[in-house]
Structure 1
Amino acid sequence: MPKFLYLVLIAITFASCSEYQKALKSEDTKVKYELAERLYKEGKFKKSSRLFEQIVPRYRGKPQGERVTFLYARSLFEIEQFIVSGYQFERFVRSYPKSDSIQSAAFYEAKSYYMESPRYSIDQRETIKAINKLQSFINNYPDSKYLDNANVMVDELTTKIEKKAYEIAKQYNTISDYKSSIKAVENFLSDYPGTSFREDAMFLKLDAMYNLATKSFASLMEGRYNEAASAYKTLVKFYPESKYREEADKIMASITEELAKFSK
């Protein structure tokens, strides 16, 4: 880069920073507003958010208040301050229910909660809150341009909750608490009948029932092996080409062998 252009860029950068610093310290609300909006349009959301933060209270109840509040919330969302952006969008929805931006605000409120959803292995209260927010948006704005995005996010979050529930049942089986595993699987299948983990859960139930039978007192073995055989039949009925079929067939062969001992 030619030295002259380099110096020009440095001068522009310093001028911009100086203008921003002056606006931050200024008592002129109009100066702050105009620069905040310009910075927002330039994609400089961190700086715009700081200026909007200062002037939001001053515009409350005024005609410009609606726009300032919305742009402040969007700036926060863009810099990934999702807890605060969710709160600000929620305030916008309450304060400006007739706004032309109401759908966008409601969507980004819900999306802010979606962005705060943790990985599946952590407590999922935030995920449940996000699902509720998104579902409320879907119910209130069934024709929204954001509808497809909202549905995709609900599906993703629901799968996350289902995975956590399934992994809990799986963990019980791993630590040989087979009764708890079976109960957890049954609750899981009842709570999430359309889950993408249905096949996995059915095999897990078969495996847990078989393991429970092998560890049972002699007086309980026959009944529990029969229950495991029923679990096998259910699995292959719904998933004849199951990815677990080979392993399930081996378990069933062992069940059949064990049950034969009781008929002698």
Structure 2
Amino acid sequence: MCTFASCLKNMKHVFYILVVSCLLLSCSDFQKTLKSEDAAAKFNLGTELFDAGKYNKAFRLFEQILPKYRGKPQAEKLTFMHAKCSYELGDYYIASYHFDNFVDIYPNSEKAEEAAFLSAKGHYYNSPVYSKEQKETIEAIEKLQLFLNSYPNSQYLAEANSLVKELDFKLERKSFEIAKQYDLIRDYKASIKSFNNFLLEFPGTSLKEKALFYRFDAAYNLAILSIDSLKEQRIKDALGYYNNLITAYPNTEFLVDSERMREELQQELNTLTTKS
């Protein structure tokens, strides 16, 4: 007599066999279609695989038939899917290239806006961490800005602006860390100059408070370590940077250190004035 447990076990076994059979049949169909000369079959199966999110297999089929469909009604859909496969597979350089081609060939397509956005977003993904060379970051910002100019009412407007903001901050962080690094290696003149350039280039930066403090810190160290003939003017310069910080941020997180440094600078200045 068949118990419930044994029946359930048998059902699971049958289900497993069916699943494996379907997978094997699916793989067999793909390999058969891949090796065939039937472009229509490759287009249809590739579209099914694309819709199912199986981009690697779809891409392999689309690669074979793309030249054969040039000038045909299906070419627009095929060209977009081909580019989207590269994008979903993480090959952003190639994807952006193909999306750009799609927009050039089909500027009036209902997919043109999406293609232009995904091309720009591909450049965003190619942007490296802030500590590396930022050539790709600048290119990504330019690409996204071009998209925003071309599609000012785009459904992707908010996301594109968010990506630009993120990339802009990466450039800010890069510039800030370079200036701070000069301070750490005690090249105080270079640090002050770099922070001045940073504040001019990024006036609305969220790193402004830190930049103002580290500029003051560099000027403080430069003044304290200077010979007497240079010290007076450098102390005055440093106190000017202190005033910039306190005026902008009266309750700065660096208040304790800033006040200590200001007092020391003022004492040095008073000593110099007494000597003269």
Q: TM-score category by the smaller chain?
A: over 0.9
Q: Residue 64 of structure 2 is aligned with which of 50, 54, 75?
A: 54
Q: Residue 147 of structure 1 is aligned with which of 138, 145, 157?
A: 157
1:216 paired to 2:209: no
Q: Residue 100 of structure 2 is aligned with which of 86, 90, 102?
A: 90
5+ long unaligned stretches in structure 1: none
CA distance in 1, matches of 2:76, 2:13: 45
Structure 1, residues 105-164: CA drift from partner, whole Å, max 9, x if none?
A: 000000000011110001110011000000000111110000000000000000001100
Q: Residue 225 of structure 1 is aligned with which of 232, 235, 240?
A: 235
Offset, 1:57:
1.5
In the alignment of these two chains, the number of paired residues is 264
Equivalent AA in structure 2 for residue 6 of structure 1: Y
CA distance in 2, matches of 1:18, 1:108: 33
- Within a 5 Å distance, the mapping from 1:80-119 to structure 2 comes to 80-119=90-129
CA distance in 2, matches of 1:56, 1:249: 69
CA distance in 1, matches of 2:16, 2:181: 60
Equivalent AA in structure 2 for residue 201 of structure 1: A
Give the TM-score normalised by the residue count of structure 2: 0.93
- Within a 5 Å distance, the mapping from 1:109-258 to structure 2 comes to 109-258=119-268
Offset, 1:88:
0.8
CA distance in 2, matches of 1:135, 1:166: 23
Structure 1 moving runs of 4+ over 6 Å? none
Offset, 1:263:
2.2
CA distance in 2, matches of 1:174, 1:221: 21
C-alpha RMSD of the superposition: 1.0
CA distance in 2, matches of 1:57, 1:241: 66
Offset, 1:246:
1.7
Among the aligned pairs, what percent are the same residue? 44
Offset, 1:75:
1.3
52-61 or 34-43: bigger deviation: 52-61
Equivalent AA in structure 1 for residue 185 of structure 2: I
1:40 paired to 2:50: yes
CA distance in 1, matches of 2:264, 2:60: 68
Structure 1, residues 28-52: CA drift from partner, whole Å, max 9, x if none?
A: 1101100111011111111111111
Structure 1, residues 56-107: CA drift from partner, whole Å, max 9, x if none?
A: 2211222111110111111111111111111110111111111111110000
Q: Residue 73 of structure 1 is aligned with which of 78, 83, 89?
A: 83
CA distance in 2, matches of 1:122, 1:97: 35
1:8 paired to 2:18: yes
Structure 1, residues 220-252: CA drift from partner, whole Å, max 9, x if none?
A: 001101100000000011111212222211111
1:134 aligned counterpart, secondary structure: helix
CA distance in 2, matches of 1:106, 1:54: 24
Q: Is the CA contact (8 Å cut-off) linking 2:130 and 2:171 kept in structure 1?
A: yes
Equivalent AA in structure 2 for residue 220 of structure 1: L
Q: Is the CA contact (8 Å cut-off) linking 2:172 and 2:205 kept in structure 1?
A: yes
